[in-house]
């Protein structure tokens, strides 16, 4: 099992103050309830890869929630009933085949060292998903961030909505939803911070085309696929 380098842990502590985490939690509560929850059933098992400080996982309504992150600081930020694994996201050997309904990740793939690592993650996700299960990825879209994409020191792998869709298909997924422009690049950007304003933004797709710099790609495992 890999461990998070000490310098990376320090970087995250520097980047996200307590105030930043509280602001992000409020924004994500609205994003989950207004948008992502539609794809998650109450009886589902949900896996969050690179769960961070629980921005997504703390607000999802499902029967079982599993968070994976190399940052040991994550566990203290998760709701008590969430299962946490301080583990490498490209090795999900602690999970059984076909044990997850929905796998989710936000702003993770670009932090992996290279495309081989991304492909390993996608292959592992395909293995642990139940037939008919789905993988949802949110991330910065290099097509609209040619320079800004590299403003974060730990961004390593260039990814667009198109390249991710192709990679997903190459490991056996079918693309169900692809939104090239969804959220602004970071929560420090133009996305309004008040919950009702976030919900308003999400209800007006035209605003996504103006402010959106992050993609959403949702892919499915075939209902007959038991591999």
Question: In tens digits, what is the pLDDT along the chain, a chain of 227 residues?
Answer: 454 444 555 555 555 556 655 677 889 999 999 999 999 999 999 999 999 999 999 999 999 999 999 888 889 989 999 999 999 999 999 999 999 999 999 999 999 999 999 999 999 999 999 999 999 999 999 999 988 888 877 889 999 999 999 999 999 999 999 999 999 987 555 555 667 889 999 999 999 999 999 999 999 999 987 66
| DSSP annotation of 46 | E
Question: Hey, how many other C-beta atoms are within 10 angstroms of the C-beta on 14?
Answer: 8
Kindly list the domain boundaries of the chain, sorted by start residue.
6-220
Concatenated DSSP letters of 85-139 = E---TT--TTS-TT-EEEEEEES-GGGSSSHHHHHHHHHHHHHHEEEEEEEEEEE
Q: Is 163 exposed, middle or buried (0-12, 13-18, 19+ CB in 10 A)?
A: middle
Give pTM, 2 decimals: 0.89
> Tokens representing 167?
């990679």
Task: Identify the CATH assignment for 6-220 out of 3.30.360.10, 1.10.3720.10, 2.30.30.700, 3.40.50.150.
Answer: 3.40.50.150
């Amino acid at each position: 099992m890999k461990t998070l380098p000490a310098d990376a842990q320090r970087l995250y502590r520097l980047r996200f103050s307590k105030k930043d985490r509280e602001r992000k939690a409020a924004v994500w509560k609205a994003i989950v309830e207004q948008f992502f929850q539609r794809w998650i059933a109450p009886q589902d098992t949900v896996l969050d890869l690179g769960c961070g400080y629980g921005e997504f996982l703390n607000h999802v309504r499902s029967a079982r929630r599993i968070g994976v992150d190399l940052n040991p600081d994550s566990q203290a930020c998760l709701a008590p009933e969430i299962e946490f694994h301080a583990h490498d996201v490209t090795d999900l050997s602690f999970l059984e085949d076909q044990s997850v309904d929905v796998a989710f990740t936000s702003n993770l793939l670009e932090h992996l060292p290279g495309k081989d690592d991304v492909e390993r993650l996608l292959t592992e996700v395909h293995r642990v998903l139940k037939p008919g299960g789905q993988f949802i990825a949110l991330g910065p879209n290099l097509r609209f961030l040619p320079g800004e994409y590299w403003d974060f020191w730990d961004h390593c792998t260039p990814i667009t909505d198109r390249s991710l869709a192709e990679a997903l298909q190459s490991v056996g997924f079918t693309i169900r939803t692809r939104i090239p422009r969804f959220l602004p690049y970071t929560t420090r950007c133009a996305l309004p911070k008040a919950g009702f304003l976030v919900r308003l933004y999400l209800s007006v797709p035209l605003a996504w085309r103006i402010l959106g710099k992050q993609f959403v790609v949702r892919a499915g495992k075939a209902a007959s696929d038991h591999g």
